[in-house]
């Protein structure tokens, strides 16, 4: 009598359980599919690690949020301050110091920024020196693909050390490696021989496929201090600077989804963003435009699907068959960027576009400052500035200096839509859309370059030849 409702409940239970079981199975299938796809997507020689982390590892990648710099942090309009943005350093501490000296870097008033890949490829000590400098000064910058791998290794080390027997296993291995180093320090051969010695150790399964124990990234990850790790972990993938209408990113960004035409209504630059309700009240046209531009610039980051994939912004070089590509075959992403930016005519068609264009777009141009593409060298286009001039390959270390008086000299005012490259050769293999004005080559160090809407910058570099 009292227990009446219970049978009723009991009858309900099995179907609910069944449903749950089906849901779990479905989720599993979907999950497997998804992780399989992401693995396929990033199956390159630089192992991209979140593909593994979705399977049976914790999240080693630790991607941070987008960072936005204020007008104070990027003082483009303050004549008493300068912004110095340095290309890929790769542990070349000596040349980094020379470059700071050459630009007469003044820490009290200048803002120093790097575009990522501050470590690896150079000597271990050099990487540690650069990292120490950046971390102790809390220098603004973005993560590079190599910095990313160092972060992932450190997270992995923490994970191993958190497990019973983990610290001992890692110590044992490290001791064996130290003993080995006297002869021929080949990490891969060393790890292979260790694996053979302890074939059945479950620890080997905890090393993600493709990761190189005792390689550059691992040894830096192991050697760095907690503060240095925290510094790398805090580096964003992308910096947005609304007041300069600029981004800083290690490898690149796309202006639009290449699987659609640039004027497709789904593209951020093809649509005037909608203002939040009531936010235009009491604002001048200029103020409203500024809000709209910021919204549109954010939309490039969040609504172009390729830009939301961390691997892409850390590794992209070109677009091939409508897809982001990490090699340089295909069209440089910076050409796609320029192609779209040149068509921006403003929200009210007020920008005078120099020549009649096919697809005018309701947008304002923005600028990407990046590194990563050492094979292309210094690559300055009207709306993108590629600063990796290959210091680690004995070429040059380059900085973009904004806001200095000498950058504003009259000779600097070569305001045109031309580009600046440090070598004449177009290294792209299959250029599917050559642009008539990409062939101009100007002397990099003698003239300022136009930056953003109305500013000028200067390119300063030092030789890294030994």
Ligand X SMILES: *[C@@H]1O[C@H](CO)[C@@H](O)[C@H](O)[C@H]1NC(C)=O
> 13 or 226: whose CB is closer to ligand X?
226
In the bound state with ligand X, the residue whose beta carbon lies nearer, of 125 and 463, is 125
Identity of the residue, 43 or 138, whose beta carbon is nearer to ligand X in the bound complex: 138
Q: What are phi and psi of 16, to 5 degrees?
A: -65, -45
> Least Å distance between CB 232 and ligand X?
12
Name the minimum Å distance from CB 181 to ligand X.
12
Q: Which of 295, 292, 311, 291 shows the shortest CA–CA distance to 249? A: 311
Q: In the complex, what is the shortest distance from the CB of residue 303 to ligand X, in angstroms, rounded to a whole number?
A: 26
Task: Report in angstroms how near the CB of residue 98 gets to ligand X at its nearest.
Answer: 18
Query: Which residues, including other chains, have CB under 8 Å from residue 414's CB and lie 6 or more apart?
Result: 442, 447, 448, 449, 450
Min dist. Cβ of residue 283 to ligand X (A) = 29
Torsion (CA) 375, 316, 441, 364 in degrees, nearest 10: -160
Contact of 95 with 462, CB cutoff 8 Å:
yes
**Residues 260-299 as x/- pattern, contact with ligand X by CB under 6 A:** ----------------------------------------
What is the footprint of ligand X within residues 411-450 (CB under 6 A)? none
Tell me the DSSP string of 233-301: HH--SEEEEGGGTEEEESS---SS-TTS-TTSTTSGGGSPPPPPTTTTTT--HHHHHHHHHHHHHHHHH
- What are the angstrom distances between the C-alpha of 356 and each of 284, 305, 348, 360, 381? 30, 30, 17, 9, 20
- Comparison of 123 and 417: residue with beta carbon closer to ligand X: 123
- Residue with Cβ nearer ligand X (248 or 320): 248
Distance CA 455, CA 383 (A): 12
216 closest CA partner among 92, 119, 117? 119
Q: Cβ closer to ligand X: 72 or 168?
A: 72
What residues are paired with 113 via a beta bridge? 85, 140
* Cα atoms found within 13 Å of the Cα of residue 180, Cβ hemisphere only: 18
What is the footprint of ligand X within residues 304-363 (CB under 6 A)?
Answer: none
Binding to ligand X in span 112-151, by CB under 6 A? 123, 125, 138
Least gap, CB of 382 to ligand X (angstroms): 29
Residue with Cβ nearer ligand X (104 or 138): 138
Q: How far is the CB of 172 from ligand X (least distance, A)?
A: 24
# residues contacting ligand X (CB under 6 A) = 3
Q: Which residues bind ligand X (CB under 6 A)?
A: 123, 125, 138
């Amino acid at each position: 009598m009292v227990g009446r409702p219970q049978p009723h409940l009991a009858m309900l239970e099995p179907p609910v359980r069944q449903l749950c079981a089906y849901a779990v199975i479905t989720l599993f299938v979907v999950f497997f599919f998804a992780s399989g796809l992401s693995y396929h997507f990033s199956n390159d020689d630089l192992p991209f690690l979140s593909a593994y982390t979705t399977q049976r590892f914790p999240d080693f990648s630790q991607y941070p949020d987008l960072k936005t710099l204020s007008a104070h942090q990027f003082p483009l309009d303050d004549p008493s301050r300068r912004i110095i943005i340095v290309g890929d350093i790769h542990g070349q501490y000596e040349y980094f110091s020379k470059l700071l000296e050459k630009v007469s870097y003044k820490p009290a008033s200048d803002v120093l920024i790097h575009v990522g890949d501050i470590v690896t490829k150079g000597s271990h000590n050099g990487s540690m020196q650069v990292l120490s400098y950046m971390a102790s000064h809390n220098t603004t910058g973005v993560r590079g693909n190599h910095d990313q791998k160092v972060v992932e290794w450190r997270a992995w080390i923490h994970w191993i050390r958190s497990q019973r027997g983990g610290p001992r296993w890692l110590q044992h291995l490290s001791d064996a490696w130290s003993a080995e180093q006297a002869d021929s320090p080949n990490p891969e051969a060393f790890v292979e021989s260790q694996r053979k010695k302890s074939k059945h150790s479950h620890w080997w399964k905890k090393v993600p496929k493709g990761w190189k124990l005792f390689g550059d990234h691992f040894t830096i990850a192991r050697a760095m201090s907690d503060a240095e790790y925290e510094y790398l972990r805090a580096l964003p993938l992308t910096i947005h600077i609304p007041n300069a209408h600029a981004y800083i990113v290690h490898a690149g960004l796309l202006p639009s989804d290449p699987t659609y035409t640039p004027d497709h209504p789904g593209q951020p630059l093809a649509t005037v963003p909608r203002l939040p309700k009531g936010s235009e009240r009491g604002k001048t046209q200029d103020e409203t435009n500024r809000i709209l531009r910021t919204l549109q610039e954010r939309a490039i980051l969040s609504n172009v699907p390729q830009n939301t994939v961390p691997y892409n912004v850390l590794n992209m070089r070109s677009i091939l068959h409508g897809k982001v590509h990490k090699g340089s075959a295909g069209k440089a992403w910076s050409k796609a960027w320029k192609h779209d930016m040149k068509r921006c005519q403003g929200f009210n068609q007020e920008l005078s576009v120099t020549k009649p264009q096919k697809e005018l777009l309701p947008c304002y141009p923005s600028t990407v400052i990046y590194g990563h593409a050492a094979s292309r060298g210094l690559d300055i286009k009207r709306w993108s500035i590629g600063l990796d001039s290959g210091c680690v390959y004995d070429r040059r270390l380059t900085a973009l200096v904004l806001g200095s008086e000498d950058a504003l000299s009259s000779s600097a005012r070569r305001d045109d839509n031309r580009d600046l490259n440090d070598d004449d050769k177009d290294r792209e293999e299959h250029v599917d859309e050559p642009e008539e004005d990409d062939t101009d080559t100007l002397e990099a160090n003698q003239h300022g370059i136009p930056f953003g809407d109305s500013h000028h910058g200067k390119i300063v570099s030092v030789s890294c030849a030994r």
